[in-house]
Amino acid sequence: MSEVTKELFIKRSPDLMELELPTATEQDLARISRELAIGLSVEEMKKVQRYFMKMRRLPTDVEMEAIGQAWSEHCCYKSSKIWLKKYVYPIQLDKIVAREDAGVMEFNKEYYLVAALESHNHPSAIAPYGGAATGIGGILRDVLCMGAQPVALIDPLFFGGLDWDFEKLPKGVKHPRYLFRRVYEGIRDYGNRVGIPTVAGQICFDDCYLGNPIVNVGCVGVVKKEELIHSYAAKPGEIYILAGGKTGRDGIHGVTFASADLDAGSEQVAQSCVQIGDPITKEPLIHAFRECVTKGLVEGSKDLGGGGLSCASSELAWERGYGAEIDMDNVPLKVAGLKPWEIWVSESQERMMLLIKNENVEEVLKIFESWDISATPIGKVIKDPVIRVLYKNEKVLELDLSFLLGEPTLKRPYETANVIREDNSSFDLPDLNEVLLSVVGSLPVASREKVIRQYDHEVRGKTVIKPLQGKLGFPTHGDAAVVKPLINSNNGIALTSDVNPSFTKLDPWRGTLSAVDEVCRNLVAVGAEPCCLADCLNLGDPTKLKTMGDLVQVCKALKKVASVLELPFISGNVSLYNEGLHGSIAPTPLILGIGRVEDITFCTTTDFKEREDLIYLVGETKKEMGGSLYYKLLNVREGKVPNSDPERLKESVDAVLEANHRKLISAIHDASEGGIAAAVSEMAIGGDLGCVLNLEKMKNLRCDIKLFSESNTRWVVEVKPEKAKEFEEIFEGKGIKTTRLGRVSGKRIRIADRKEIINLPIDLIRKEWNNGLKKWME
C-alpha cells in the first residue's frame, strides 16, 4: 500500500478497515479502487462516495468489495445490457418460463427444459486445467439450482493456432498447444467424475485467440414442472442455507479479474482469482440438492459463482424486493484467518445457497448430512430491501439493495466497422485431389475423435445420438448430439454450438447470422426442431469503439434471425475484455442451439447407409468465399462472407423436418467449413462407403467454388431411390432448391464437373482426416 493512500484506510478492528471516502479526491478514489482491486471507475467511485456521504458514515472494506463485485461487467453487464434488452431479451419472450441463473422452457407436458451457457475465458488463460473444470462446475450449479437434473454438457473452445512459434510467445503467454491440452483435460477430469455426459462441443483454432483462449460451457437439464425452483426469495423469514464446499481464499476477485484485460502481470495477480473445483463434492451435492427438491423443501436457490456470497445473498433477496440478514460467523471456512471481506466475496467452488422455510431447515440439514455435505444456516430473508452482514457481533456491511443492485448501465460509444464484400480474386484451378486432402486434414475439419473419446459422453446411458456416429469402427462427426432424458418418454433434446470466427472477423453481421444458420442446420440434421438458442458473446475491450460496434451488430443480427425463426434466447452470457496477443479477439458470439425431438426413433445421422442411394444437395451454392477454409488454405484474402436469409432458413428447416417426419432421409450432413466436399467426405468416412457425384447441375460456378463454397442453409442428403420423388416434392413445394448430385457407390469419392476433378479412396481421406488434429496432440 502506498504512503499516500494509507491515511485513507482506517483500521476499525483487526479484521476490518474503513475508508475515508468523503474527503477523497478523484485521484484518491482511483487509487482506492486500484488498491482494493475492485475495478471501479472514478465515476462509479464518486457514486459510492455520494451514497456514503448521504449515509453519514464511512464505508467498510466489506462494503467496497461488495459494490466492486456487484458493479463489475461480469455481474451486471453494464456495457451490454442496453443492447441485450433492446434486441435479444424480448424475442419470443412468452416462450420463456424463467430466465434466472438458468433459463426455463416447456419440454413436454410434465417437464421443463433448463439450460445455461457461460464463459470461463480469463481463468482458463491463466490456469487452463482448473479454469475449464470449474467452468463445468459453475454451469452445473446454474442448472441444478433451478431444481433440475443436469443431463448434458457442451464445451465450445477457441485457441490460437497450434503451429504458433514458441520463440514468438511473449513472457506470461501460454502456448495454444498447452492451453488446448490442459483445457480438455480439465473438462475431462471434472466432467467424467461428476457423471454428466459431455455430448457436444466445438474446437476452433485462430491466432486471434493467442493469449486469450475462449472457453465456453453450456448445460441442459430437465425438471418436473412442479419441482421448478426460482432464484429468488418468496417470503421474509426464509432461512439462507449455505451448502456444499467450504469457503477459502481461492477465487477472490474472479469477476473483477474477468472484467479487465489480461496482461503479462496477470499470471501473478490472478492465481488467487482462479477457483479450485472438486467434482467429488459436486457429485453428491447434486444428489442431496435434488433430494431436497423432490421432497418439496426448497423455496429458492442460487449457485455461488461470480461475486460469491455477496452476489448470491443479495440477488436472492432483491429479485422480489426483500432484503437479507447474514451472520458470517457461521460460514464454514477452509482455513482460519480469512478477513470478513474475503469471506464475503470469495468464489470458492461447489457452493449453493438454498432458501428454506424455518420448519424445514432440520430436514434439509439431515439430507445434506447423509451425503457428508456441509450445510449451514447463515441468515434470513427480511422485509426491508437492505442487506446487513454481521461478523463477530459487529455490523460489517449494511447497504440498500436498490443501490447495490441498481444495475449501473453504460451507453458506451461505438463505431460500426466497414465490411468488405467483394471478391476480385483470380487464381488458377489447383489440383483438387490435393486440396480435398488438405481440407479434411485441416484443423477446422479434421477428426475430433481423440478429444471426444476422452470425455465420457455416455454416462447416464441417455445419449441416443452420439457425437461420433457411423458404422462400428468407422466413426465420423455428427451434426448434433441427442439425449433422451426421461426413461418413459421418447422425447429428446438435441444440442449443438457454432460460431466461425473467420466469418465474424470479416463481417460480424453475416458471421452472426451464419452461426445461427449453422446451429439450426445441425439440429434439423439429427431430426430435432430448433426450440431455443443461447448466446455467449465473447468480445474484446468494450472501451474500444470497434468492439462496442461489433457487439451492437451482433445483437441486431441475433434479433433479425431469431425473430424470424421464432427462437427465444433461453440463456446467455457476455464476456468482454478478451484481448489477445493481436489485440481484440474476433467477435465470437457463440451460439448454443437446443432442439426438441418429438420421438428419438426418427433421428438421423451423417454416415452413408447404402450403395445406390441418391445424394442430394439442398440449398443454393454461391461464390461466398470470404473467410472460407478453401481461401485460407490458398492464402486468398478476399471474398464476401456467406449471407443467410432467415426467411429462407426457416422454410428450409421446415422442409428438412418434414422429410425427416416422413422418414425420407437415410443420411444427412450440413455443409459448413470445407463445403460440400468436406460434408461428403465425412459421410463417406462414417459409412465406409464412397460416392459418385456430378456437379454439372450446380450452375454458373467454377468447380472449386462448387466444392468448397461455404454458403449457408445447405445440407447433403442421402435418399433411397424409391423415395426420391416424394423428397423432391417437399422442397419444390416450398421453393427450395434441391440438386441431385449422384449416388452412394464403392469405396472411393469420385466427383466430376464435365471432367473428373476428384477421385480418392475413402481410406486415404480417412487417414488425413484422422491425423489432422491428432498429430498436434502427441
Partner 1 sequence: MKKSDMRVAIVRMEGTNCEQELQDAFTVLGVDSKFVHIKQLKELTGFHCVVIPGGFSAGDYVRAGAIFASLIKTKIFKELKEFIKEGYPVLGICNGFQILVEMGFLPGKGRGRACLAPNDSGVYECRPTLVRNENRGKCVFTNKLKRKEIRMMPCAHAEGKIILEEPKKMLSQLKADDQIVFRWVDPDGKLAGYPWNPNGSLDNLAGLCNMEGNVLGLMPHPERSFFRWQHVDWVRKGLSAPGGYNVGDGRAIFESVIECISKKF
By CB under 8 A, is residue 370 in contact with partner 1?
yes
Least Å from the CB of residue 185 to partner 1: 9
Q: Does 601 bind partner 1 (CB under 8 A)?
A: yes
337 binds partner 1 (CB under 8 A): no
778: contact with partner 1 by CB under 8 A:
no
Residue 284 engages partner 1 in binding (rule: CB under 8 A): yes
Nearer to partner 1, 378 or 668 (CB): 668
Cell of 365: 440439514
**Residue 325 CB neighbours (<10 A):** 20
What residues pair up with 496 in beta bridges, in sequence order?
A: 593
Nearer to partner 1, 454 or 759 (CB): 454
230 as an active site residue: the answer is no
Task: Point out the catalytic residue in the list 74, 122, 230, 477.
Answer: 74
Q: Which is nearer to partner 1, 99 or 224 (CB)?
A: 224
Binds partner 1 by CB under 8 A, chosen from 161, 172, 195, 746: 195
Residues 376-435 that bind partner 1 (CB under 8 A): none
Residues 475-494, interacting with partner 1 (CB under 8 A): 475, 484, 487
**Strands 323-327, 386-391: pairing kind:** parallel
3-class secondary-structure state, position 535: strand
Distance between CA atoms of 279 and 196, rounded to whole angstroms?
11
Tell me which of 120, 122, 457, 669 is the catalytic residue. Answer: 120
How far the first Cα of the chain sits from its last, in Å, is: 47
Task: Report the residue from 194, 208, 255, 378 that binds partner 1 according to the rule CB under 8 A.
Answer: 194
Is 604 near partner 1 (CB under 8 A)?
yes
Q: How far apart are CA 44 and CA 39, in angstroms?
A: 10
Among 562, 480, 460, 465, which residue's Cα sits nearest to residue 523? 480
**Nearest residue (CB) to partner 1, 674 versus 687:** 687
Closest CA to 350 of 133, 98, 196, 152: 133
Q: Do residues 279 and 285 touch, judged by C-beta distance below 8 A? A: no
Of 224 and 582, CB closest to partner 1: 224
Q: Which is nearer to partner 1, 201 or 540 (CB)?
A: 201
How far, in Å, CA of 302 to CA of 736, rounded?
A: 47
Q: Which residue has the cell 421448478?
A: 228
Percent helix / strand / coil, the chain, rounded to 5: 40, 25, 35
Q: Does 290 bind partner 1 (CB under 8 A)?
A: no
665 or 707: CB nearest partner 1: 665
Degrees to nearest 5, angle at CA 589 with 545 and 531: 140
Q: Is 120 an annotated catalytic residue?
A: yes
The binding track of 547-586 with respect to partner 1, each residue x by CB under 8 A or -, is: ----------------------------------------
CB 483 → partner 1: shortest distance, Å? 11
Whats the size of the chain, residue-wise? 778
| Stretch of residues binding partner 1 (CB under 8 A), selected from 321-329, 421-429, 460-468, 497-505 | 460-468
CA atoms of 688 and 611, how far apart (whole Å): 10
CA pair distance 293, 147, nearest whole angstrom:
6
Residues in the interface with partner 1 (CB under 8 A) total 45
CB of 723 to partner 1, least distance (A): 16
Burial class (CB in 10 A: 0-12, 13-18, 19+), 422: exposed
351 forms part of the interface with partner 1 (CB under 8 A): no
739/381 Cα distance (integer angstroms) = 64
The cell for 767 is 487417414
The window from 40-48, 65-73, 467-475, 543-551 that contacts partner 1 (CB under 8 A) reads 467-475
Tell whether residue 283 is a contact of partner 1 (CB under 8 A).
yes
681 to 720: interface string for partner 1, x by CB under 8 A = ------x---------------------------------
Least distance to partner 1 from the beta carbon of 282, Å? 9
Q: At what angle do helices 675-687 and 432-441 cross, to 10 degrees?
A: 70
Is residue 468 part of the contact set for partner 1 (CB under 8 A)? yes
DSSP conformation class of 418 = P
The least distance separating partner 1 from the CB of residue 254, rounded to whole angstroms, comes to 24
Residue among 364, 239, 242 at smallest CA distance from 296: 364
Binding status of residue 464 toward partner 1 by CB under 8 A = yes
Residue 118: in which H helix or E strand, if any? strand 111-119
Task: Supply the residues annotated as catalytic.
Answer: 74, 120
Which residues of this chain interact with partner 1, rule CB under 8 A? 188, 192-195, 279-281, 283-284, 370-372, 452-466, 468-473, 475, 484, 487, 600-601, 603-605, 607, 609, 687
